[in-house]
Amino acid sequence: MGRLVSEVVEAGETARVVQRIGSADGLAIDAGVDAVVDVTLPQVSPAVVAAATAAGVPVLVGTSGWSGERIASLRANRAADAPAVLIVPNFSVGAVLAARFAEQAATWFDSIEIVEAHHAGKADSPSGTAVATAERIAAARAELGPVAAPHTDQRARGQQVGSVPIHSLRLDGVQAKQDVLFGGVGELLTIRHETLSSAAYAAGIRLAIAALPSLAGVTVGLEALLFE
C-alpha cells in the first residue's frame, strides 16, 4: 500500500512525496511535510497518528485495526485544535458502496453474518473493512437489537463485532473479498465485493488525499466524502 500511495501521489499534480518512513526509521516528521499517510500495521498506527498530531499535520490512516472503540478513544483524547485525522478502512469505492448497501439491508433481516477473505500475508483479522461493516450494521439496528447468531460460544462461529459473526479466511490467490449474508424466511441475500487488483484503491486514495486539507476533527470512511 505504501508503494501504491506513492505511485498515486507522484502520478498526480497536486501533491508530491517528500518523506518516506519505513519500519527501520524513527517517527520524526520533516518540516516540509504538509500531511502524513499511514499505511503500516495495527500495532504501529496509533504511534504514527500521535507523531503526526505532535508535528501539527493532518494524517490519512489507511491501516486496518481501527475499531469503533479505538476511534472513540482517539476522539476523546484529542485537543480541540488538533490536526485532522481521516481513517479509511477501505480505499475501494466499490467496497464503500457494498458496506452502504449492507447498512440499508440490516433492518430487514435478523440473521446476518460476514465472511471475508484476504491474501495470506494480511497481518490482522478480522479485516478493518469487515469490522467497519459490522459496526455499521449494529448502528443501523440500534432500535432492533442484536442480530440472531446462534451457538456463538463455539469457536468455529467466528468473532462477533456488534453482535455480527465475522469469519476470516487468509488464502494464497486472494486479494480481498467480502460477503455479507442476510438470511430471511425463504430467502438469502448476499452482498459481495471482491478486489481483483490494488488498482481498485487508486481513486479512493486520490479522493482522500485531496479532501484531507479541508477536514477537521476525526473523520471515518470514504463514505463521509462520497455521500455527505
Q: Is 122 a catalytic residue?
A: yes
Nearest to 91 by CA among 114, 62, 127: 62
Catalytic residue (one of 119, 122, 151, 167): 122
Torsion angle of the four alpha carbons 186, 126, 217, 203, in this order, in degrees rounded to the nearest 10: -80
Contact 158, 83 (CB under 8 A): no
Count of all residues that appear for the chain in the document: 228
Catalytic residue (one of 118, 119, 151, 177): 118
Within 15-163, strands assigned E span 36-38, 59-61, 85-87, 111-118, 159-161
Q: Is 177 a catalytic residue?
A: no
- What is the set of active-site residues? 118, 122
